[in-house]
Amino acid sequence: MRDLGFRTLDLRGGGRAEDQATWRSLCSRAAGLEGEADAAARAIIADVRARGDAAVCELTSRFEQRTLTPEQFEISREARAEAAARVSPDLRAALVTAARGIRVFHETQAHGDTGLEIEDVSLYSRVAPLRRVAVYAPGGTAAYPSSVLMAGIPAKVAGVPEVILVTPRAPDVVLLAAEIAEVDRVFQIGGAQAIAALALGTATVPRVDKIVGPGNAYVTAAKRQVFGLCAIDGIAGPSEIVVMADAAADPELIAADLIAQAEHDVLACAILVTDDEALVPRVTAALARQLGDLPRAEIASQALREHGAAVVVDDLAAMVAAVNAYAPEHVELLVAEADEVARQIVSAGAIFVGAFTPEAAGDYTAGPSHVLPTAGAARFASPLGVWDFVKHTSVLRLGRAALAAQAPAIARLARAEGLEGHARAAELRLRETT
């Protein structure tokens, strides 16, 4: 049986100082906001700003060993259709099933203008879709057509007129997902150079209002740095899960869900939180068995060893506290009274309740977007949704009587702030005319 090196942190009764320090370190993880990727992204953005398409071509050759001309950036609709037609009928059917669930769920998030009218005062928040957004789909160790659906469909439900997909390598299944999601244009560029091109605009790549979707550390660093030139969905770190389990939980299910997250990449985080010490060796044994024939066993094993842990705490309340402290992207509840426990989880991107709700259902078919806050951002951030693809504009209209009622307060506040022009702009409108 393989030695996983899956560590155990015993936090019962306060726990050892060493285990407490390790747990604090796990909870305070960051999404690579500084370091090599940050510096590299800064240089790439500056290069694309200066040289546009030429920089994108050169950087693509340097980092991806692909030769592209600007004329080859965009994949034509004809080529996309041909690629989509090559996908097997069963895989097409699976994507259609997933898309249907995603669309139905996100249609519940649509909302309209809000506001009020009182006599001669009209105040509104007007809701309108963004005009052009980009969905980034990774093209590294795995293809993610599901990410295209999970980001592209909410954008279209929101009414975005132009959705652009950028991906460094576009296998047929990803192009089929783009067709099903009704993506308007597809560009076969990637990395920090693609983010820069989308945020700045080049002769070939249109400037977008927002960039969404996960990517590697360089993509994440570039997204952070272009914020302000355009909007972004968030700072994506490695994927992560916490499985909360009590003594009655099935160790095979726990192991399966930890592995499902760990196989994403070697930086993925997979944590077990339990109040039953005896469960830990049973889960460790199940992990070793299931990794035996897993195609991505080396990736999953390294992730479990370097970023995973079994955390043993005193009781259910301590389990809830541990989950909220970690603020995971995903949390799975394999405990008694799971619905009640779910109400106590206040810091998580998505909560999977009960033994028949694997995190994999959220990745593909259940409906809510799997683009979720990571690296502890679930303390303050939300899943990707229709709300990410609209903006609110305040619309104000005052009649003369309403302005007359407000003008004394306007003038007093303006003069208190040393802004005489503000005060006069209100008072001037109320002058008696002959």
pLDDT tens digits for range 19-62: 999 999 999 887 656 678 899 999 999 999 999 999 999 999 99
Does 216 appear as a known binding residue?
yes
Which ranges of 159-278 does DSSP label H, i.e. alpha helix? 172-180, 191-200, 217-226, 251-262
Structure tokens at 22: 């390790």
Catalytic residue among 330, 332, 359, 370: 330
Query: Which pLDDT belongs to residue 433?
Result: 52
Q: For tokens 């285990």, what's the residue? A: 19
106 is in an annotated binding site: no
Q: Is 172 annotated as a binding residue?
A: no
Total residue length of the chain: 434
329 labelled catalytic: yes
Q: Is 136 annotated as a binding residue?
A: yes
Helices 17-27 + 316-326 axis angle, to 10: 50
307 is in an annotated binding site: no
| Distance, CA of 428 to CA of 414 (rounded, Å) | 14
**Which of these is catalytic: 74, 240, 263, 329?**
329
Q: Is residue 330 annotated as a catalytic residue, yes or no?
A: yes
pLDDT, residue 34, reads 65
Tell whether 225 is in a known binding site: no
330 is in an annotated binding site: yes
Q: Is 111 annotated as a binding residue?
A: no
Helices (H), 278-381: 279-291, 297-307, 316-326, 338-344, 359-364
Give phi and psi for 359, each to the nearest 5.
Answer: -60, -30
Say what the pLDDT of residue 434 is.
37
Q: Are 184 and 163 in contact (CB under 8 A)?
A: yes
- In this prediction, the residues of the chain whose per-residue pLDDT falls under 50 are 1, 434
User: Does 417 appear as a known binding residue?
Assistant: yes
Assess contact for 184 and 162: CB atoms under 8 A. Answer: yes
State the pLDDT at residue 246. 97
Q: What pLDDT sits at residue 3?
A: 67
**Residue 38 annotated as binding site:** no
Alpha helices in 132-239, H assignment, sequence order: 145-158, 172-180, 191-200, 217-226
Task: Give the Cα separation of 18 and 34 in Å (integer).
Answer: 26
